Amino acid sequence: MKSIVILISGRGSNMQAILEADLPIRVSAVVSNNPDAPGLDIARRHGVPVEVVNHRDHDSRDAFDAQLAAGIDRHSPDLVVLAGFMRILTPGFVTHYAGRLINVHPSLLPAFTGLNTHARALAEGVKIHGCTAHFVTPHLDKGPIIAQAAVPVLAGDTEQSLAARVLAQEHVIYPQAIRWFAEGRLRITPDGNVILKNQPPMETALISPQEPQ
């Protein structure tokens, strides 16, 4: 059984979705850069060991990442999962975990990299928004895409209502991406795309706005 370490900074909703998804994995630890992260209590209630590596205790990003990596490596995980981990990681850290570091981002990458994705989607007037599970590379939000989920942008949506709809889909695709990794079904091609082995054909489409039936 493959093991994972989950990194969080806040409430840990994606972490909770992973812990409750009955995946064929062992969660070796949950690590946070924030000692007050509410997600730490959720992990404890699930019986998962928790650790804190406070970024405020370090003089540089390199020093923080070095201690963070040392803590992760004590668990020898097969996969490191960023679940609302609000730190930009150094290239050295990312390279150390190449091919076994994943993230979920609240947009349909490559659109809306970075922060404030929902507000930007509304400002641009897009009709479909969503989320992306992807491998992490040194280039922010540019790693190979594992899975995406799309949601319609509805008339009258606010940043908060759109964010809630997207978050619900993050809770679906992120555990699924981890399951595929654990099952050995993901392969990164030389040109940086992800192939899912034994993927059934799909012919459905999401159209937004949708004409009433």
The mean pLDDT value of the chain amounts to 96
**Domain of residue 115, CATH code:** 3.40.50.170
> Given a cut of 80, is residue 202 above it in pLDDT?
no
Residue 213 included in any domain: no
pTM of the full structure: 0.96
Residue 14 included in any domain: yes
- pLDDT-derived band at 211 (thresholds 50, 70, 90) equals confident
The active-site residue out of 105, 118, 134, 171 is 105
Count of the separate structural domains present in the chain? 1
Measured distance CA(137)–CA(89) in Å, rounded? 10
> Given a cut of 70, is residue 213 above it in pLDDT?
no
| Cβ–Cβ under 8 Å, residues 125 and 155 | no
Residue 204 included in any domain: no
| Cβ–Cβ under 8 Å, residues 149 and 131 | yes
pLDDT tens digit sequence for 26-82: 999 999 999 999 999 999 999 999 999 999 999 999 999 999 999 999 999 999 999
Long-range contacts (CB closer than 8 Å, 24 or more residues apart) made by 200-208: 206/128, 206/150, 206/152, 208/127, 208/128, 208/152, 208/153
Both tokens of 200, joined, read: 């059934």
Residue 19 included in any domain: yes
SS3 state of residue 168? helix
* Packing angle of the helix pair 117-124, 159-182 (nearest 10 deg): 120
Query: Is residue 105 flagged as an active site residue?
Result: yes
Residue 48 included in any domain: yes
Residue 210 included in any domain: no
Could you tell me the residue range of the domain that residue 9 belongs to? 2-196
